Every structure is written in structure tokens, then in C-alpha cells.
Structure 1
Amino acid sequence: MKLIPDKPFTYGHEDGDFYIQQVRRTKPFGRTNHDHPTYEIYYLAAGERVHFLDRRTVRLTAGDLVLVNKHVVHNASDLGPPEHERIVVNFSDAFLGAGHPLHDPLLFAPFARQAAVLRLGAQERAFAEQLFAKMVAEAAHERPGREVYLRLLLAELLLLAARHPADEPKDVVAAQSPLQRKIAEVVAHVNASYETKLTLAGLAGRFFVSPYYLSRSFRAVTGFTLIEYVNLTRIREARRLLRETDFKIIAVAERTGFESAGHFDRVFKKLTGTTPHLYRKLNRL
């Protein structure tokens, strides 16, 4: 079975109810500003990649299946030769989440780890590839029952992942070079201190490196610029505060490290596609 066609296939939108894309790439490619309100399933069919997942760096090889929860910051970059083949599926709660007739908490167990990496065996890999091929074939034709069948196939894939051993293979975690350890320290500091003033110069001084070295190295390891990652971390916490508290929007901006409400509003809209006020209105718990 030829899983990845010569031409890429895309159905839907990443932030929509259901999205699937399969593609083969031969040139360097990285994803940036990746943080969305949908669940993501990533399958690497061929090649090798490095992913920044939930504040850690992991190495993926062909046959690895990655499940990423909603609003988890993640990214992908090359590991050695850029050639790789992969399939990505995104879906919303509305498509198969709580309240849907096909929903079962077991199917969402892998997402409890925020970002789970599963190394599939030969039989699991063949079964997963059959499911992906059926999804693509179904998405490619508009016919009665298309969404029903896509939900059934997705449920089968999630069940496969939920039944997979919970322990992540040790060789998935990328070898920690001195550079990666240094950037991991910077990431940990940003996540612990996002409400404070964070600048490239200040962080470079704190970790005893030059601003140029930190800027270049941070992007090489994570796939994000330093300011992109700081803003993603701040906006992630801002969304939580908007959903779960009664803090005024100006207070949310202050608590997440933004120097002004205007700057907060601009960054929030850029990263989420909506304003803080509308986000709270639509997502209040």
C-alpha cells in the first residue's frame, strides 16, 4: 500500500472540526507558532524528525504516532536529511468529544499526557496505515455518511493508541547535548517566570551566553523564536485565566507578563484569531 501519494492531500482546516493532511517533503520544513484548539494526531510514515512537545524535545522515526492535546505548544524540525513523509489529523470536541454518541473517555486517555509518543510495532503500524488510507479516501469524496465514517475510523485509531503500552519508549527522547540542556533550562525558566519581564538580553545574561547565540540556538532546538515561545506561554495561561476566573482583562494581561492591555490584545488576537473578550464569552467554564 502506498500511504503517501506524490501529490499532497488536504481536507478541512487545522482549527476546524476535522482536518487531515498527508504529504511527502524533500526540502527543509518546520512548523511555527503551533498551538491550536483541536486535538492532533501525527504519524511519521518515513524519515526522521525532531519535535518540540510540551516543553521537551523528542526524536521521531518512521512508525511513530504522536498524540497532542489541545493548546499544547509543539513544533517540528529536521533531523539530518529533510526528506520525510507524514500524516496529520486534527479534530475538535464537536467532532468526537464529550457529549458525542461515539465519545468514550478511554479514547482520550493518551491525551491526558498532553503529548504522547507511541512507537508502533509492525502489526500496529500496518493497521494504523490502513485507517489513515481509509480516512483519506473517504475525505476525498463527498458522499452520504462521510462524516459518520470518518468518526468511526478516528475512533478506531484512538482506540489503537489507547491500548498501546503507556510507557513511552526511552529512545524516543532526543539525546541531550549540552546545547539542548541549556535550552531546556531556558524553557523551564520561561514557563516558571512568564509573568515577569523577559527579554533576549536579560535571558542571555542569566544563562551566561550571548544574545545572538541564545536567539539562534533557541530556534534551532525548539523551532520557535524566543519571543514566539514567550508569547505562546503567556497566551496559554491567559486563556486559562479567561476561562476559569473573573479577573478583568487588564488584570489577566498583567498576570501574564504583558506591559499593556493593547499589547496583550494584539498578541492574543494574532495567536488565537479572536479577542480576549470574545474568547472569554465563548469559552467560559
Structure 2
Amino acid sequence: MLAKDSITVDFGNDESDFYLHQVVRSTPFERNNHYHSTYEIYYLLSGRRNYFIKDSAYSVAAGDLVFINKYDVHKTSVLGSPQHERIVMNFSDAYLGSDHPLFRPDLLHVFQREHHLYRLKPQEQWFVEELFRKMAEEIKRQEDGFELSVRLLVTQLLLFAVRMRDADVPVTDDPLSPTHRRIAEVVKFINSRYQEKLPLTELSERFDMSPSYLSRTFKRVTGFSIVGYHNLTRVREAQSLLARSNAKITDISERVGFEQFAHFNRTFKKITGTNPTRYRNLNGEPS
């Protein structure tokens, strides 16, 4: 009889102001590629996992701390045994906004760094795990002031992260496969040229893979078809422009590479669940 997965903490969801989820998994689990408007911190307590984030692939081990910026596409998948225990924490800009007495904008800089993964030393692991334990305890008890206490603990975790430097990231002792590295290069290329037409034939020639092999392997590693990822990259940029600029929606459609406005509307709604006008009304900066 297979053991069941065990959830020890479950508070909020990954699009709410604050989310904390801890689970021990004994069965195979793969989270589909996704992105959200919140920052994410992922900590692996035991086991091994593959992680694809934005345009990089990682082999994650116990004691690794992973930082994922808002709107970065990411996907986790099985590496070896499916058994693992992990903690995921998400929070919004509003959660640590200007009304937070200890807020400093540079606390969020860790999410913009080149490296997503940090391999912690034993003493650092203990410190991080103790912070998460205290958060879980506050959430379970929910005594007076527990929300403020959790925000202070999140601030401590971010301050710890800010003090880490990219130069301190050790070279992994479990290098990724050449296939993962090649697909990561394809993803980086699409991210840098998303406004352009990127036919499969041209991509396969550029990266010296047959069209069928590139298409199949890209889907297996990232969870997306090449066309699907290309469109997602365009829509994510459109979301950013809609939220922070007053540019006409038709101009934004052209700027991110859509030749037909109707196609942009259909694709935007399919990916985000709403049309560009409504998205701007809900997320745009006040004029």
C-alpha cells in the first residue's frame, strides 16, 4: 500500500498576500509550468527535485533555498525518488509594502539576481528552518498579533537572503544533463527575441537539432510547446506594459510581436483568463 502525502502547513494560496505550504510527498508529483503575481521562496527539506525557472534548469537538493521572482515561469518535477519534503512561501508586494514598519525595497533584490538557487551550509539551513518553523507555529496558533509576527519573520528571512552573494553560490556537484542545458539556451533565446517570428525550422537550425526532436524535448523539459512558450512570453510582457504604462492596447499588441490584434486578444484571454482592457482596469497604476 502506497503511503499518502502529508500536508503539515497550508495557509492562503499562491496568489494571496501571503501563502505558506509544507508537504511531505511519497508519490510522484510534478507541478505544471505556471507563474503568478507573487514572489516565491522554495526550500527543500529532504529529497531531490528538478526545477526549471525562467530560462534556467536546476537540480535541487535538501538544504537548497530557491528564489522565484513574480511572473517568472517555473516548473518542478521528479528527480530520482519521488519522496521529498518541501516548504513553499509566497507573498505579494502589498504584504511587505510601505505600511510595514521594517520595509526596505532592497529586501526584494534577491529575486532579481541571476542565480535562483542557493546551497546553504548546515548552520544556515538550521537558521532558515527555524524561521519557517516559527511561521508555521504562529499560523497554527493564530494568537493576537500573529500576522505581524509572521511578517517580521519573513523580513528576517529576506534580510538573510540579501546578505548572501552570488559569489557564495557553490558549483553544483550534480551537473544538469546536456539536454537540459541546450533547452535552457533555447528558452533564453526566445526570451530575448520574443517580439520576432521564431519558426521551429529556424530554431532547430540555430541550435542544431531536428524540428521534431527540439519540439519534443522542449515540451518535456519546460512543459510548454515552443509556440505556447513564445506566446506566454509575449503576454507576460504585455501584462507588464498594461500595468505600468498608458500606451494604447493596440500599440502594446504590436510592441510584443502580435501582427493581428484579434490574435493578441484571444491569446491574452486564454493565458490570463481576462481581456487586456479588464486586466489594465484591475492592475494598472492610478492615473
- TM-score of Structure 1 vs Structure 2, range by shorter chain: 0.7 to 0.9
> What is the correspondence of 1:223-234 to structure 2 with a 5 Å cutoff?
223-234=223-234
Deviates further, 178-187 or 128-137 = 178-187
- Relative contact order (C-alpha < 8 Å, sep 6+): which is higher? 1
Q: Give 1:238 shift.
A: 1.1
Residue 116 of structure 1 corresponds to: 116
Q: Give 1:223 shift.
A: 3.7
Deviates further, 174-183 or 86-95 = 174-183
Residue identity opposite 1:238 in structure 2: A
Question: Cα distance 1:115–1:17, how it changes in 2: closer, same or farther (>3 A)?
Answer: farther
CA distance in 1, matches of 2:40, 2:223: 18
Question: Cα distance 1:140–1:216, how it changes in 2: closer, same or farther (>3 A)?
Answer: farther
CA distance in 1, matches of 2:173, 2:111: 18
Cα pair 1:106 1:159 within 8 Å, conserved: no
Q: Give 1:221 shift.
A: 2.5
SS of alignment partner, residue 116 of structure 2: strand
Question: Cα distance 1:154–1:252, how it changes in 2: closer, same or farther (>3 A)?
Answer: same
CA distance in 2, matches of 1:196, 1:57: 24
Residue 235 of structure 2 corresponds to: 235
Question: Cα distance 1:117–1:220, how it changes in 2: closer, same or farther (>3 A)?
Answer: same
CA distance in 1, matches of 2:249, 2:239: 11
Residue 283 of structure 1 corresponds to: 284
Taking only aligned residues, the RMSD between alpha carbons, in angstroms, comes to: 2.6
Residue identity opposite 2:66 in structure 1: V
SS of alignment partner, residue 118 of structure 2: strand
Q: Give 1:38 shift.
A: 0.6
SS of alignment partner, residue 183 of structure 2: helix
Residue 187 of structure 1 corresponds to: 187
Residue identity opposite 2:182 in structure 1: K
SS of alignment partner, residue 32 of structure 1: strand
Deviates further, 166-175 or 35-44 = 166-175
CA distance in 2, matches of 1:239, 1:174: 36
CA distance in 1, matches of 2:44, 2:224: 21
SS of alignment partner, residue 28 of structure 2: coil
CA distance in 2, matches of 1:82, 1:225: 25
Quick one: percent identity of the two aligned structures?
47
Cα pair 2:59 2:176 within 8 Å, conserved: no
Residue identity opposite 2:89 in structure 1: V
Cα pair 2:119 2:170 within 8 Å, conserved: no
Deviates further, 44-53 or 71-80 = 71-80
Q: Give 1:121 shift.
A: 1.4
Residue identity opposite 1:163 in structure 2: R
The answer to whether residue 86 in structure 2 is matched with residue 86 in structure 1 is yes
Question: Cα distance 1:179–1:155, how it changes in 2: closer, same or farther (>3 A)?
Answer: same
Residue 63 of structure 1 corresponds to: 63
Cα pair 2:43 2:63 within 8 Å, conserved: yes
Cα pair 2:57 2:181 within 8 Å, conserved: no
Residue 38 of structure 2 corresponds to: 38
SS of alignment partner, residue 171 of structure 2: helix
Q: Give 1:180 shift.
A: 2.7
The answer to whether residue 26 in structure 2 is matched with residue 18 in structure 1 is no
SS of alignment partner, residue 159 of structure 2: helix
